[in-house]
Amino acid sequence: MTTQTLEIPTQAQPRDMLSTSEIVGRLSDTMCGVSIHMKQWRTNKGLTPEQRGTMADAFGAMNQSVSGSKKLINTKNETYRNVGRVFSEAYAFWQYHSMPYPQHGMRLQRRDGISEFRQQFMHYQNRMTIAVDDLERELPSLMEEQRVSLGRLYSEADYPRSISGLYELSFDVSDINPPSYLAQMDPALFAEQMERAQERIQHSISLLENEFLKDMSEVVESLVKGLSKTEGGKRKSLRNTSVKKLNEFFQRVNELNVGSSGQINSLIDRARDAMAGRQLTDLKNDDSIRDDVKDQLEKLKTEVDLMIETRTGRQFEIVD
């Protein structure tokens, strides 16, 4: 029987500890803002005043105290759900390959990775177009289904002639620094805006570290559960998905880690060392190896969770 050694992503490159101001300067020169836009057909519609009145009469309630809505289609329909899956996957992709940013709807992406990001995002856009076209073709049968389900609440006027224009999946790229022309026009204002931009980048660093800690706590907890035993002493099942999520975590760290926290880097390295070189069959069947790895990960999770707790409300300051 062959054995499978866990392929744990190694550290991308040695991380030199830099001051916060050095990291901020580097990110200012190499990152840009990426915002994604998602628009979908709203498949719920509020009841008319007459319909609310009928509902209020049924319960002896006052009209102004009653509200309600109706579903225009069966949202459990698989064709409809396929459209939602594309949006969810595109959103997850955007989050996975970017740093958080303290501006709603925007995250930071490496400038040299924008072309690759665009290529992958076009894949989601193409999938969305196909999924929406499929839903368009099935819409007449979905409307007929709701005609039966809604009874007198059904109205054909509630439905658009076409739904293709009701969906959008796109992204914008923006500079996170003030425009260079401002330095010529108003140097004082440029300096003020640059300082604000650097403060936002500092906040991004803190938010990224928080994401790393939260993700590490979750993947380590999943592994610990899989390596534990039931109350009766029987091995629990270590799921391959738990190992996959750990690898995805390490890959994301390699892509985005800016080397801002030696303590967090040390915790990540300990998680990597605990799993690297292990045989998957041993982790599933060898009690001594399972217990050893579980003990290491349990101690690690305790430290990670403590750091999460102590970092609550923490803010970065520029260190010159």
Report helix, strand or coil for 96. helix
- Answer with the residue of higher pLDDT: 314 or 204: 204
Local confidence band at 317 (pLDDT 50, 70, 90 cut-offs): very low
What does pLDDT average to over the chain? 90
Local confidence band at 4 (pLDDT 50, 70, 90 cut-offs): low
Strand pairing category for 168-174 and 31-39: antiparallel
How far apart CA 83 and CA 127 sit, in angstroms, is 8
Evaluate if residue 2 carries a pLDDT over 50. no
Q: In sequence order, what are the beta bridge partners of 169? A: 38
Give the predicted TM-score (pTM) of the model: 0.86
Reported for 286-295, long-range contacts at CB under 8 A and 24+ positions apart, including other chains, are 287/235, 290/227, 290/235, 290/238, 291/227, 293/223, 293/227, 294/223, 294/224, 294/227, 294/228
Evaluate if residue 140 carries a pLDDT over 60. yes
Confidence at residue 66, expressed as pLDDT on a 0 to 100 scale: 87
For residues 246 and 293, the answer to whether their CB atoms sit within 8 Å is no
Confidence at residue 293, expressed as pLDDT on a 0 to 100 scale: 94
Percent of the chain, pLDDT > 70? 92
Instruction: Name the one residue in this structure whose structure tokens are 């300990």.
Output: 270
Confidence at residue 13, expressed as pLDDT on a 0 to 100 scale: 52
How far apart CA 98 and CA 107 sit, in angstroms, is 6
How far apart CA 259 and CA 45 sit, in angstroms, is 49
Instruction: Tell me the Ramachandran region of residue 280: left when phi exceeds 0, alpha when psi lies from -120 to 50, beta otherwise.
Output: alpha
Contacts of 200 (CB under 8 A, 6+ apart): 101, 102, 103, 176
Q: In the chain, what are the domain boundaries?
A: 34-174, 185-310
For residues 44 and 72, the answer to whether their CB atoms sit within 8 Å is yes
How far apart CA 77 and CA 85 sit, in angstroms, is 12
Among 15-19, 37-41, 59-63, 66-70, the least confident range:
15-19
Can you read off the two tokens belonging to residue 286? 């060898």
